[in-house]
Amino acid sequence: MRLERINWTQAEEYFKHNDMVIIGTGSIECHGKHVALGTDFLVPSKIIELMEPRTDVLIAPTMPYGSCEYLGDFPGTVNLGYDVLYAVMTKITESLYKHGARKFLFMNGHGGNNAALEQVCMDLDKKGAMGCILNWWTLAWVLDPAWKGGHGGGEETAAMMAIGDDLVDTSLMCDNNIQHLTENLKTTGFGSIDFRGFNILTRRSVRKMSDNGWIGIDHPTTATKEWGQKMLEGCAQYALDFIEEYKKVEL
């Protein structure tokens, strides 16, 4: 059941008997030259689409924009930042709380959203409600360790292949050419550098460390549509199983 497709009387009836809402969250940002900017928005939206016929939980529209300042130097990236994302998600959850929602599942597609979403969950907790964040890409690593990947690598590329043939341009796949700070200060991620085996946290523009915007050990050329289909279905089924257990929580 989609919030945007029902009228207010149907919403009123739903909240008389149900207190859960699913909200997708994502981002519009660079994922390498080869993958569409909407990856972090389209993947959670697709997982929710796969879930919809098998759940009675109300689905709110997916939030397409997120907090992604570190990717802001790549054309097309839209960054709300922490403060705006937190404010928007707070208003959304407050509105739904007013109507009867008490349990929220955020189907998240972008790691940069977590800080704001975690604060929203804390705010909900203080009101006797609850929020849970399901990061699909880390869930995929648990479902099958072979699926583990990085930003714009094989994992995300496979997911996008499963969503649409027009979302991945295989002719633009290339090595990520990661730039290290020094011989001994190795860039290990968008927010970390390695020195003598220890990861030190930092934040810099991704364009200073990658000339195309993807990072990880899973090269995009390893991606297949079949991998993506299996992975998205696995994430959807896990989320459905989680929802049934989540319904049992007493607040």
Distance, in Å, from the CA atom of 30 to the CA atom of 40, rounded to the nearest integer, reads 10
pTM confidence score: 0.96
User: In three state form, how does the secondary structure of 196-219 look?
Assistant: CCEEEECCCCHHHCCCCCCCCCCC
Distance, in Å, from the CA atom of 110 to the CA atom of 149, rounded to the nearest integer, reads 14
End-to-end CA distance of the chain: 24
- Hey, is 21 helix, strand or coil? strand
DSSP 8-state class, residue 248: T
Within the chain, all domains assigned CATH 3.40.50.10310 are found at 3-176+220-246
Per-residue model confidence as pLDDT tens digits over 15-55: 999 999 999 999 999 999 999 999 999 999 999 999 999 99
DSSP 8-state class, residue 233: H
Per 3-state DSSP, the chain is made up of helix, strand and coil in percentages (nearest 5) of 50, 15, 35
Per-residue model confidence as pLDDT tens digits over 120-158: 999 999 999 999 999 999 999 999 999 999 999 999 999
Fold of 3-176+220-246: Rossmann fold (3.40.50)
Distance, in Å, from the CA atom of 66 to the CA atom of 70, rounded to the nearest integer, reads 12
Tokens coding 113: 């959203």
